[in-house]
């Protein structure tokens, strides 16, 4: 079993839909990261959070430390949001989820 589990693995949405990607982890962490990898391969760090909630534009990330769970929400999704979203958790070690492949259809 992976230390970090993401769901769903693949997600197709219509433009404008509200999207949620979930991440559960089983290790102690000091921070959780949400990363975005576009089809071209580049990786962008979206959020780093250790508690509560962060918002950046149409993206919202939440974390529940007690439940060891985080969610990434995308409001009013757009085709340019199509990418792989990766959850990563870190403490003494660093673990990655296997990613959620999101496709937003116009």
Closest CA relative to residue 51, chosen from 70, 77, 27: 70
With beta carbons less than 8 A apart as the criterion, state whether 23 and 88 touch: no
Site for other proteins in 27-66 (CB under 8 A): 31, 33, 35, 37, 41-45, 47-48
Structure tokens at 60: 């919202």
104 touches other proteins by CB under 8 A:
no
> What three-state secondary structure class fits 88?
strand
Tally of CB atoms within 10 A around 61? 23
Q: Which of 61, 83, 88, 89 binds other proteins (CB under 8 A)?
A: 88
Q: Based on the shown chain and the rule CB under 8 A, indicate whether residue 99 belongs to the binding site for other proteins.
A: yes
From the CB of 11, what's the least distance to other proteins, in Å? Answer: 15
Write out the residues near other proteins by the rule CB under 8 A. Answer: 31, 33, 35, 37, 41-45, 47-48, 84, 86, 88, 93-94, 96, 98-99
């Amino acid at each position: 079993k992976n230390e970090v589990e993401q769901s769903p693995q693949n997600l197709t949405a219509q433009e404008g839909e509200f999207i949620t990607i979930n991440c559960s982890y089983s290790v102690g962490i000091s921070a959780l990261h949400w990363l975005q990898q576009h089809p071209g391969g580049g990786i962008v760090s979206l959020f780093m959070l250790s508690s509560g909630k962060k918002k950046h534009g149409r993206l919202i990330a939440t974390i529940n430390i007690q439940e060891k769970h985080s969610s990434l929400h995308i409001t009013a999704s757009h085709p340019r949001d199509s990418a792989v979203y990766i959850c990563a958790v870190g403490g003494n070690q660093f673990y990655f989820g296997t990613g959620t492949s999101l496709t937003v259809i116009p």
